[in-house]
DNA sequence: TAGTGACC
DNA sequence: TCCT
């Protein structure tokens, strides 16, 4: 189709940074034009599947980020727990289809022979954070998680497979890609804070993070 | 006790 | 690592 980010401008694989087994950081994966095109698609998705404020299981405390999803399944959280579901929790409508541009990004970055089923779209305002956590609600842990950042720079914290492992901080800037796979598929990670006024892509020091995931076990060959 | 916690 |  048309109108997707120009992924032909992606950096060559040689400029990927391997941070350890299964962790790949691709600074500047999307150039400015690709970022603008992708953001326009996200804004369109958010009109059809409005941002909602997830709440913590059990405590019912609201998250500081707002979110929506696209693809056959979407990640949601409320007082009863975390889960993937095929419909928006407020409208009851199916999630919008995944844009072709995101399928292209998955194909370039994930190197997994089946398409992603969910793209979680997180919107961070200047005070939003995401506590250290693992992405482990997916039934297919052989597939990586592919993350794309747009807008304000985030201080991203990444640790190991145990919550007690050493962590390090990485700045994720607009256009950067990050892939968790293989031995690093379940590493703890989170967002400490957003650095204000680090990008003019999204007004008000906003940040969007897209995470592409395979949710159900891939069909047998 | 766990924990998209708080903190770093 | 330390709470609640």
Q: Give chain A residues 131-150 with Cβ within 7 A of strand B.
A: 131-133, 135, 137
List protein-proximal bases of chain B (any atom < 7 A from a CB): 3-8
Give the residue nearest to nucleotide C1 (CA to C1'): A164
Q: Residues 6 or more apart from A164 whose CB is under 8 A from it?
A: none
Rounded-to-integer distance, Cα A165 and Cα A159, Å: 6
pLDDT given at position A218: 81
List, for residues A53-68, the tens digit of each pLDDT value. 999 998 889 999 999 9
Burial of A62 (0-12, 13-18, 19+ CB in 10 A): exposed
From the CA of A220 to the C1' of B7: give the distance in Å: 44
Q: Is A208 annotated as a binding residue?
A: yes
pLDDT given at position A196: 94
Rounded-to-integer distance, Cα A212 and Cα A62, Å: 23
List, for residues A6-43, the tens digit of each pLDDT value. 444 455 554 777 778 899 999 999 999 999 999 999 99
- For A137, the 3-state DSSP assignment is coil
Question: Which among A152, A134, A148 has a CA at the least distance from the CA of A102?
Answer: A148
Question: Which among A135, A141, A131 has a CA at the least distance from the CA of A120?
Answer: A135
From the CA of A93 to the C1' of B8: give the distance in Å: 41
Q: Give chain A residues 197-216 with Cβ within 7 A of strand B.
A: none
Any strand C atom closer than 7 Å to A168 CB: no
Q: Is A25 annotated as a binding residue?
A: no
pLDDT given at position A11: 52
Q: Is A168 annotated as a binding residue?
A: no
Rounded-to-integer distance, Cα A56 and Cα A63, Å: 7
pLDDT given at position A17: 78
Any strand B atom closer than 7 Å to A169 CB: no
- C-alpha torsion angle, residues A179, A183, A185, A191 (rounded to 10): -70
**For residue A199, what are its two tokens?**
């990008």
Please, what are the domains in chain A?
A: 22-52+101-213 (2.60.120.590)
pLDDT along chain A (221 residues), means of 10: 44 66 93 98 98 92 95 96 97 98 97 97 95 95 97 95 91 96 94 95 97 92 70
pLDDT given at position A97: 98
Nucleotide nearest the Cα atom of A191 (by C1'): B4
């Amino acid at each position: 189709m048309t109108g997707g980010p120009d992924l032909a401008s992606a950096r060559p694989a040689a400029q990927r940074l391997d941070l350890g087994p299964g962790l790949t950081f691709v600074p500047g994966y999307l150039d400015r034009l690709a970022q603008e095109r992708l953001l326009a698609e996200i804004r369109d998705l958010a009109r059809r599947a409005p941002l909602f404020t997830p709440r913590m299981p059990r405590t019912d405390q609201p998250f500081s980020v707002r979110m929506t999803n696209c693809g056959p399944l979407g990640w949601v959280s409320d007082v009863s727990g975390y889960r993937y579901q095929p419909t928006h929790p407020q409208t009851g409508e199916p999630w919008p289809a995944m844009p072709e541009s995101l399928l292209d990004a998955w194909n370039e970055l994930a190197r997994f022979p089946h398409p992603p089923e969910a793209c979680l779209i997180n919107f961070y305002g200047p005070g939003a954070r995401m506590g250290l956590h693992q992405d482990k609600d997916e039934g297919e842990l052989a597939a990586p998680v592919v993350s794309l950042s747009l807008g304000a720079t985030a201080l991203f914290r990444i640790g190991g497979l145990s919550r007690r492992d050493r962590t390090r901080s990485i700045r994720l800037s607009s256009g950067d890609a990050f892939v968790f796979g293989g031995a690093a598929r379940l590493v703890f990670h989170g967002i400490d804070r957003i650095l204000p006024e680090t990008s003019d892509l999204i007004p008000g020091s906003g940040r969007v993070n897209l995470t592409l995931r395979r949710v159900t076990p891939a069909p047998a060959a």
